[in-house]
Structure 1
């Protein structure tokens, strides 16, 4: 095992070895099962002696570290997981910098030092939908976010994207009351609503907020909306939101439904893309940081993506329009 943890790992004679770390115990075992289901789609297997092994990472740094030790002892040259950002540092410390960690977290703060962030991030959603809005002439944008880390990161991402597109992004509001949100944005924009309002959250407040803005300004959303089945929510009619490329995702979603009897969400797609990336790199004997950062990137079921040397993922999300009974793609994905 010394060749894996120290120095440059030697290339294997046959297919590479990787391990999926998923939380099938702890506070969210259903998420781990989704990851496991995705990893076995299409007849693929999880085996201690095959291309992809599986270890339960639980929900604490300690349980994830234990899983990582077992993975490395079993010969893993690449880790897919863990899911939770709080576990990443413990896993990275155990495996060392020569075993890349392809975390499914969406927390970009854990990237670097051999850690690559594959999760769909607030930054990727904001970049996709706000850039598309800018091209349509929507140069003033209000932002209403839920409380907490996701809301803060979404607001920061919108402000950063606005600097690049030339849009005026108003100071973010943390507000769930629709009437108050409309009044505050109107005041902040000098007496009229901005040309667009970004509502990245997908909680219980989404429908009421979207309904209050619908017809008065262009409503924009994040990839989080995919979990709410936007096509069946009248309040979201005519809204635009960032989402995986439906042309790439739909065949995967159909296969997942047929195999497991449940709908495939973004987590299933991220897990599948992570496992398939590790398998691909194993087959070409490139399970390394240089393999992950190859110039041409990768084509996944969530769309194209590529990694920088800093462990950050440039992901191409599409922009979808919520129509009457149909979701249509109005902005294509490109990493």
Structure 2
């Protein structure tokens, strides 16, 4: 069976009997689960909230289970393309599957912590049994306080793992998951010693710490860790060049817009080794850089997003933001669990099912601490394109 992002930093069970439009399946990933089944028949959906609680925000769907969604629909008073795209993706999910099972209440947090807290409070007051969102880390912190007080779970979209907690689950693409996958693949491919060349910023800090921890766990050696300030890659590249005869690969957790400068610094210092990165390299700006050909990075398989994007464009006549699949999967999961989840469809056991779930970006599961695991592919940059060299797993090993 199968079933956060934060501001771009500068960062029961279900069987596989449901097929959504466009061929996107959303079901539990394991094979021996029991509980929720969103095929025909089975127990009914949860009881509606007490009468007299008015709905809030824009409502999508007409189901008896109320779910809140908090998105940055505006920022600095202007429409936010990311927020609007995520809202549209949620509508697509409700139209595909969720309409009879949930009523999704969508509110704008205005990209602010106060707005997120107010939205959470009003949605919980309107009977929301689950909150989806927000996107930015500080807004998740503010909204989660209200959710915890009400005893309701959240599925948020921040990439900052520090905001995760029991009952506050992150559906986003976490840096830690990217790092784990690329280390494991590299070691399995015979790489035993590594260098790290990382920016002095939050993303670089988290990625470097995780790479060091994961490498230690598989007895791999870190020969040098070279850090650099924005635009100051030359000295770090020199440090790597000095030891390149001792390393099998170089890990560079850098954003797409800075990778040309990194590549130039490496070339200037004649660094030639296997390059490793994270999913932020899955960007045309990186794929076309000559020095990056042959580099490896971990990322979701593109095929799921491409299928989603095709259907999104057909409905909204525009391209979706990359984060739109998060709100699509969150809304679909909320509807699937509501479909046959009994009076408490979003209990901890249901949300942390070890078999996980399969959404637009592949399999994922929530850990009890609120972080997630995702099934990621390893991709090689080849001829200016992304070529899968290690497919994403289609299911998790139970437990």
- CA offset at residue 100 of structure 1? 0.7
Aligned length: 323
Matches within 5 A, 1:107-126: 107-126=160-179
Q: Which consecutive residues of structure 2, in runs of 5 or more, have no partner in the other structure?
A: 1-44, 49-62
Structure with the higher fraction of residues in helix conformation: 1
Aligned to 1:59: 111
Matches within 5 A, 1:246-325: 246-285=302-341, 286-325=345-384
Q: For 2:169 and 2:309, locate their aligned partners in 1 and report how far apart those are by CA, in whole Å.
A: 25
Q: Does 1:181 align with 2:257?
A: no
SS at match of 1:205: helix
Q: 2:140 aligns with which of 88, 103, 107?
A: 88
Q: Does 1:217 align with 2:262?
A: no
Matches within 5 A, 1:84-233: 84-96=136-148, 98-169=151-222, 170-175=224-229, 176-187=231-242, 189=243, 192=245, 194-213=247-266, 216-233=272-289
SS at match of 2:172: coil
Q: TM-score, normalised to structure 1's length?
A: 0.87
Q: For 1:213 and 1:165, locate their aligned partners in 2 and report how far apart those are by CA, in whole Å.
A: 27
SS at match of 1:145: strand
Higher RCO (CA 8 Å, separation ≥ 6 residues): 2
Residue pair 1:18, 1:80 contacting (<8 A) in 2 also = yes
- CA offset at residue 119 of structure 1? 1.2
Q: TM-score, normalised to structure 2's length?
A: 0.74
Q: 1:29 aligns with which of 57, 80, 94?
A: 80
Q: CA RMSD in A?
A: 2.6
- CA offset at residue 217 of structure 1? 0.4
Q: 1:244 aligns with which of 286, 290, 300?
A: 300
- CA offset at residue 226 of structure 1? 2.3
Q: For 1:131 and 1:84, locate their aligned partners in 2 and report how far apart those are by CA, in whole Å.
A: 29
Q: For 1:219 and 1:121, locate their aligned partners in 2 and report how far apart those are by CA, in whole Å.
A: 20
Aligned to 1:7: none
Structure 1 residues 93 and 177: CA distance shift in structure 2, 3 A: closer
- CA offset at residue 263 of structure 1? 3.7
Q: For 1:234 and 1:21, locate their aligned partners in 2 and report how far apart those are by CA, in whole Å.
A: 41
Runs of 4+ aligned structure 1 residues displaced above 6 Å come to none
Q: Which consecutive residues of structure 1, in runs of 5 or more, have no partner in the other structure?
A: 1-9
